[in-house]
Structure 1
Amino acid sequence: MKLFDVYPLFDVNIVKGSGCHVWDDKGQEYLDLYGGHAVISIGHAHPHYVEAVSKQVATLGFYSNSVINKLQVELAERLGKASGYEDYQLFLINSGAEANENALKLASFYNGRTRVLSFEKAFHGRTSLAVEVTNNPKIIAPINDNGHVTYLPLNDLEAFRRELAKGDVCAVIIECIQGVGGIRMVTPEFMQGLRAACDEYDTVLICDEIQCGYGRSGKFFAHQHLGVRPDMITVAKGIANGLPMGGVLISPKFKPVYGQLGTTFGGNHLACAAALAVLDVIEQENLVENAARVGEFLIQGIKALNLPHVVDVRGEGLMIGIELDVPYKELRNHLLFEEHCFTGCSGTNVLRLLPPLSLTQEQAADFLQRLQRAAQATN
């Protein structure tokens, strides 16, 4: 048997990580400005994280959700305190797509409606409802194309209000910084107008913080830059620094009903131990503040380089997009294979930076030098 081939792969086999660096099986070191797609929040192989996960798996890795799991209770309390959502409820699952699926399902249970508003270039996952609210027809199978979703232009409040006024909208789902869409930013005016309109029509507002949340933007959640409180917040990626975990933070206005939601593996002991260790490190090492400070250093540093083909640099914290007027492929490949540096991408012409939140200013300066050399070599 061989693997089902769903990704184009770089010819690099990563076998070791430490902090913001990884190594391949030939011993080559790489600076990681990708974080395994925003998953590595506190750095690779952080000693406190390794100790917590090792201790938990040696004690109890898993038992079902039919019994009390005090680690889940502790995680809910700690996450509420860290994020400013102590009055919300937490439902734990295994991934970002699952988080969005369950948030949309809960919204529909709440108001009995079936239509959802999403936005152009949005990405919310590849499972049934999550892929239907993703604005990419190439990955929406016929069985998922059920007519539930209307896609709207980002930051167009009038277009949004016209759709909401039809009175049949169950929920609105939005990334406050679009990741796959190219690090596209939501304006405060749009987000605040969206919140007010959702209140007016009793429509559920879901903020997808799977990529832009958990400290990455320089605040715990990206929507906190915009002055709103959503009805539900979906999280995953950086929550457990590599162990599969997702969650939905749920407003008190939603009341749980036994049987509506459920999960086998979600919130298991091992994943909870990992997530608690992540919060320990975020708090002890001030990683949210670090993301804001080092991210601003990177954004201003990239702009100051005045590189050829760079037409825009945008983002918040350590979620940064470098838009080019040429395809990103040559520059990204040169960064990887000549400068030994991982970056991400969006669309055809945006380099996406999603490093661990522990990235230091010295490492950021190192990246700026590598980027400058790569840009000059590919010009």
Structure 2
Amino acid sequence: MKLFDVYPLFNINIVKGEGCYVWDETGTKYLDLYGGHAVISIGHSHPHYVDMITKQVAQLGFYSNSVINKLQQEVATRLGVLSGYDDYSLFLINTGAEANENALKLASFHNGRTRIISFSKSFHGRTSLAVEATDNPKIIAPINNNAHTTYLPLNDIEVVKAELSMNDVCAVIIEGIQGVGGIKLPDNDFLKELREACTATNTVLILDEIQSGYGRSGKFFAHQYAGIKPDIITVAKGIGNGFPIAGVLISPIFKPVYGMLGTTFGGNHLACAAALAVIDVIEKDHLTENAAQVGQYLLQQLKSFPQIKDVRGRGLMIGLEFEEPVKEIRNKLLYEEKVFTGVSGTNVIRLLPPLCLSIEQADEFLQRFKKVLG
């Protein structure tokens, strides 16, 4: 059997990681400014993370959700305090797409509606409703194209209000910062008015913080810059530093009923150990504050590069837009300067490094980037 060929691959086999660096099988060292799509939050192979997972798997890796799991309870308690949402409830699953699926399902249970408002260039996952809420027709199969979703321009509140006034919208789902869409930021005032409009029309507001959450923006959640509280928040990626775990943070307005949601692997003992290790390190090493400080430094420095058309983002979630396609720039960074970065579309480079990135490592990147840009 061979692999189903759906990923265009760089001819590099990464075999080791430590902090903000990775190594390939030949021993070549790379600076990691992408963190595997914003997944690596506390750094590769953090010793505390390795220790917690090792001890847990030696004791118990998995048992079902039919018994008490005190590790789940501990994750919920500590995440509530760290995020500022201690009055919300937590449902644990495995992936970001699952988180958004369950969020949309909860919203529909709550108000009985079926229409979704999503935004231009949004990305919410690759399964069922999550992919239908994603503004990319290339990845929406006919079986998923069920006309549930209306896509609207980001930051145009009057257009949103007009749709919500029909009183048939189940949920508005919006990213704290658009990732795949090119590091596009919702305006603070837009989010405030969106919150008010959703409340007025009994529409559930879902904040997809899968890429922009867990300290990456310089606050725990990117929407907290606007001072709002959504009804549901979805998290994944950084929550487990590479171990598959995701969560749905659920407002007290929702009442749980046995059987309404469920999962086999979600919130298993090993996943919870990973999540607790991440919380430990974020707190101890002040990684949210570090993301704000180092991110601000990077943004300021990058804005002085005349070759870049636009620099945008918050914290360590940064987009660099060029007039021309960035494929050659990215390839030179990777193969000549040994730096991993991401892209969004044709003209945007995405920077999503581990949250432990230092000023010195930021300077290391800037020096290599200057060489590539000439």
- TM-score, normalisation: structure 1: 0.98
Preserved CA contact (<8 Å) 2:177 2:185: yes
CA RMSD of aligned residues (A): 0.4
CA distance in 1, matches of 2:47, 2:27: 21
Retained in 1: the 8 A contact 2:176–2:213?
no
Alignment partner of 1:69 is 2:94: no
Helix, strand or coil for the counterpart of 2:59?
coil
**Which position in structure 1 is the counterpart of 2:154?**
154
The amino acid that maps onto 2:20 is C
Match of 1:341 in 2: 339
1:313 alignment partner in structure 2 = 311
**Distance in 2 separating the partners of 1:305 and 1:99:** 38
SS state of the match for residue 160, structure 1? helix
Aligned positions of 1:252-271 closer than 5 A: 252-271=252-271
In 2, Cα distance between the equivalents of 1:305 and 1:180?
A: 23
State the 4+ residue runs in structure 1 displaced beyond 6 angstroms: none
Structure 2 SS opposite 1:184: coil
Distance (Å, rounded) in 1 between the aligned partners of 2:122 and 2:37: 16
Residues 91 and 247 in structure 2, CA contact (< 8 A), matched pair in contact too:
yes
- Aligned letter for 1:185? L
Q: Percent identity?
A: 71
Could you report, residue by residue, the CA deviation over 1:187-240 in whole angstroms, capped at 9, with x for unpaired residues?
011100100000000100000000000000000000001111000000000000
Q: Deviations over 1:251-285 (max 9, x none)?
A: 00100011110000000000000000000000000
**Match of residue 127 from structure 1:** 127
Structure 2 alignment gaps of length 5 or more: none
Letter of the 2:254 counterpart: F
Trace 1:1-379 onto structure 2 (pairs within 5 A): 1-306=1-306, 308=307, 310-376=308-374
Letter in structure 2 aligned against 1:69: N
Structure 2 counterpart of 1:311, one-letter code: K
Shift of 1:109: 0.2
Shift in Å, 1:305: 3.1
Q: Deviations over 1:76-116 (max 9, x none)?
A: 00000000000000000000000000000000000000000
Instruction: Give the aligned residue type for 2:248.
Output: V
Q: Quick one: which amino acid aligns to residue 63 of structure 1?
A: Y
Unaligned runs of 5+ in 1: none
Mapped partners of 2:46, 2:304: distance in 1 = 32
The alignment covers a number of residue pairs equal to 374
Using the alignment, how far apart are the partners of 1:239 and 1:188 within structure 2?
A: 25
User: What is the DSSP-based 3-state SS (H/G/I as helix, E as strand, rest coil) of the residue aligned with 2:368?
Assistant: helix
TM (norm. structure 2) is 1.00
